[in-house]
Structure 1
Amino acid sequence: MPVSDKRGRARFVDCGRAFSDRLPHFVPQLRSEQLELIDPAKNPFFGHGRAQFFIATRGGRDVGRISAHIDDLALAMPAEQGFGPGTGFFGYFDASDEAVAHALLAAADAWLRAEGMQRMMGPISLSIWEEPGLLVRGQDHAPMIMMGHHPAAYAGWIESAGLGRAQTLFTYELDISKEFPPLVQRIVKSGERNARINVRQVDKSRWDDEVAIVLGILNDAWSDNWGFVPFTPAEVAYAGKKLRPIIFEELNMIAEVDGKPVAFMLTFPDINMVLAKIRGKLFPFGWFHLLRWLRHPKGAGMRVPLMGVVKELHNSRLASQLAFMMISAIRNEAHGTFGSTRGEIGWILEDNQGMVAIADTIESHINREYAIYAKPIA
């Protein structure tokens, strides 16, 4: 059944939370944050997108959920970049069995068809910048911040409904207590001797300016990537407000060449570490543990969710050098200042040869695999 009002959205969120609670290694998120993400009055995604949420019931019990949504910015992208005209999405997918899964996917298909779409793709919940993909490998350990976690059975149910894999995303794990290989160290030292290059920490006292710099580089650097959708100023402001408490200057870098910002790398301490402890609940005492952790997340895992180098430097030695310099600076701070031993990079597109090469060179390894599926709408 479709839901749209405040009460229905709350039921939709609680349905998903009930599924997650039964999943090994899942980390419950804050319910208030989950409600906000699907609220058209609060999430700026709805400034360029629209969605319909569905809940499946059986015998008076909620047995699954799904969203069907359309992103006008994705519709405007070239088809060869993955989305484009006629592409709608599904997300927030949970089901108790294969029959429920097929019914939910059919409901999303019907809604998208009625809206004029010719193809359904997902799961993407709701934006490519939020939680893209279905976890198909890596269920044996907990996800890091802002990464989805799904039962292994979901992939087979989606595929048996006629969807095929459109894209594969990887995350890479590395031991940041170890020095990087000698080759990387030589590249970093060479860059440090280059007077044209300056790798600096993000300055939170100039927050709005720094956010604008990162947005400019991001929208340029990623503009030719599969699945790219422009990050709007409203979304940047929203994300900046949400993420600011976990932005530590030592862990976020901007690289400049001849005084011009040309690259960035963001790193978030893994807040899932404390959310697991408080079971995603702020009350009665969760807020105390969360605030204490935010003051100094000692020993937390570190995730690099985003990095970018301006297009004019793509496929150049300088681009790789800047990436290694930022990674090295962040590794030193993460391990030396915060006592972290585990890092994660991603997600990374399977066919992003440059990033895959960097991940391989620093001796990281794939620890989680996500799939995005697609099918024509009948």
Structure 2
Amino acid sequence: MTIEIREVTTKKERRQFITFAWEVYRNDTELKKYWVPPVITDYMKTLDKEVFPLYEHADLAMFTAWKDGKLSGTIAAVENRRHNEVHQDRVGFWGFFECFNDQQVADALFNAAAGWLKKKGLDTMRGPVSPSMNDQCGMLTRGFDSSPVFLMLYNPPYYNDLVLASGHHVGQELLAWYIDQSIIDIKRLRKIAAHVMKREGLSIRIMNMKDFDREIERVRDIYNKAWEKNWGFVPMTDREFDFMAKSLKPIANPHYIYFVEDRDKRTIGFSLSLPDINQALKHVNGNPFSPTGLLKYLWYTRKITMVRTITMGVLPEYRNKGIDSILNTHIADYGGRHGVFASEMSWVLKANEAMSKLAKVIGGRPYKEYVIYERAV
């Protein structure tokens, strides 16, 4: 048996790299039940160095593994120069890992990524990060019995065994919190929110989609200030943030995107939640833009029962003042009025006790766990 590693260089090979995942999941009934196929056109853009703005300060290599002439695994390696400037380290990343349950193939893939990163002068690799910490990251270790929400990952349990056996160790653990909004004590939450708003002289409003560009500037400013000290965080460039915002705009519901303002109408906090469109994407096999795919997508988006709270950000001077209670009240209130009684708060560092405490206060439970692994290169 021979294993050959090939570097992806053409558009056709890139599409083959993406669609290999179908081979992993199609023959496993249990996995197939929960896996949500990625949107092929989105991944094609994300892995296009001429299109995706991350690569203005990063480099990417994609590898496929062939065992006895059969495609058997994929991995991408990323050198993020901006990350290394911010954190003063020499860390590279791997992501888009898909593989049959074959340790030899997995080892060949990780060695290919490690070799490429080492040539870049890096000494550590971390993953899965696909392709940055501002995108999809973390390997699922608990919670395999339900589908991932929008922009979160799913993988077979054996992936963790393959990673650990290849010389990785746990770098960071991440949590996804499930919040059943139907059991939240909404009256109590409203009272707390009203008290905080009166005490601090605050007001809250939804996103103004007609002023989209300026609203995004407000989000970007707070996001970068609020998260700058978080593990692994790298501030997005203007181009990265604008690209992400425009890609999410078609699915955004302004009633799940809130801004908190002070007496002078200065934005001091925000919350970004999105409908869990994975509930619809699960039925379109990676192509929501085909005639049948579009019809199915539109039909199932009417049945979405969950939102994902991707991020909350508060300016440093307003932390620990209960601003989160204001944001959570409005998310729960609007969701309850429209039949959406579930939300996922993700992802949250397991070591972030403050965020975990917040999730518990509103009735959350950690129902999925993820790991970002590390190893020397």
Matched, 1:287 2:294: yes
What SS does the corresponding residue of 2:77 show, helix, strand or coil? strand
Further displaced range: 96-105 or 62-71: 96-105
Cα 1:290/1:181, change in 2 over 3 Å: closer
Counterpart among 75, 91, 94 of residue 95 in structure 2: 91
Alignment partners' CA distance in 2, 1:189 and 1:178: 20
**Could you say which residue in structure 1 is the equivalent of 2:42?**
33
Counterpart among 287, 299, 308 of residue 303 in structure 1: 308
Matched, 1:256 2:279: no
**Could you say which residue in structure 2 is the equivalent of 1:134?**
139
Alignment partners' CA distance in 2, 1:284 and 1:226: 43
Deviation digits for residues 291-327 of structure 1 (CA, Å, limit 9, x no counterpart)? 4556xx454311001111112233x3x1xx1111111
Structure 1 runs of 4+ aligned residues shifted over 6 Å read none
Matched, 1:18 2:34: no
Contact (CA 8 Å) 1:298, 1:340: kept in 2 or not?
A: no
One-letter amino acid matched to 1:18: E
Deviation digits for residues 8-44 of structure 1 (CA, Å, limit 9, x no counterpart)? 2111111123224443300112211111110112111
**Could you say which residue in structure 2 is the equivalent of 1:180?**
185
**Could you say which residue in structure 2 is the equivalent of 1:219?**
224
Alignment partners' CA distance in 1, 2:145 and 2:82: 35
Alignment partners' CA distance in 2, 1:236 and 1:292: 30
Contact (CA 8 Å) 1:66, 1:90: kept in 2 or not?
A: yes
Contact (CA 8 Å) 1:138, 1:368: kept in 2 or not?
A: yes
**Could you say which residue in structure 1 is the equivalent of 2:335?**
334
One-letter amino acid matched to 2:345: I
One-letter amino acid matched to 1:369: E
**Could you say which residue in structure 2 is the equivalent of 1:171?**
176
Alignment partners' CA distance in 2, 1:308 and 1:240: 16
Matched, 1:277 2:283: yes
Further displaced range: 189-198 or 239-248: 189-198
Alignment partners' CA distance in 1, 2:186 and 2:215: 31
One-letter amino acid matched to 2:352: N
* TM-score using structure 1 length: 0.92
Gapped regions of structure 2 (runs ≥ 5) = 1-5
One-letter amino acid matched to 2:172: Q
- Determine what percentage of the aligned residue pairs are the same residue: 28
Contact (CA 8 Å) 1:184, 1:361: kept in 2 or not?
A: no
Question: Shift in Å at residue 90 of structure 1?
Answer: 0.7
Further displaced range: 362-371 or 22-31: 22-31
Contact (CA 8 Å) 2:184, 2:362: kept in 1 or not?
A: no
How many equivalent pairs are there? Answer: 365
Contact (CA 8 Å) 1:9, 1:35: kept in 2 or not?
A: yes
Matched, 1:347 2:356: no
Contact (CA 8 Å) 2:279, 2:300: kept in 1 or not?
A: no
Further displaced range: 13-22 or 69-78: 13-22
* Structural mapping, 1:230-249, within 5 Å: 230-249=235-254
What SS does the corresponding residue of 2:305 show, helix, strand or coil? coil
Contact (CA 8 Å) 2:150, 2:276: kept in 1 or not?
A: yes
Question: Shift in Å at residue 358 of structure 1?
Answer: 0.4
**Could you say which residue in structure 1 is the equivalent of 2:162?**
157
Question: Shift in Å at residue 247 of structure 1?
Answer: 1.1
* Structural mapping, 1:180-219, within 5 Å: 180=185, 184-194=189-199, 196-219=201-224
Question: Shift in Å at residue 183 of structure 1?
Answer: 5.2
Alignment partners' CA distance in 1, 2:231 and 2:83: 11
Matched, 1:148 2:153: yes
One-letter amino acid matched to 2:77: A
Deviation digits for residues 189-240 of structure 1 (CA, Å, limit 9, x no counterpart)? 3124347111111110110010000000000000000010111111111111
One-letter amino acid matched to 1:90: W
Question: Shift in Å at residue 143 of structure 1?
Answer: 0.4
What SS does the corresponding residue of 1:239 show, helix, strand or coil? helix
One-letter amino acid matched to 1:94: E
Cα 1:195/1:161, change in 2 over 3 Å: closer
**Could you say which residue in structure 1 is the equivalent of 2:119?**
114
* TM-score using structure 2 length: 0.93
Counterpart among 275, 300, 312 of residue 317 in structure 2: 312
Question: Shift in Å at residue 112 of structure 1?
Answer: 0.6
Further displaced range: 297-306 or 16-25: 16-25
Alignment partners' CA distance in 2, 1:216 and 1:149: 31
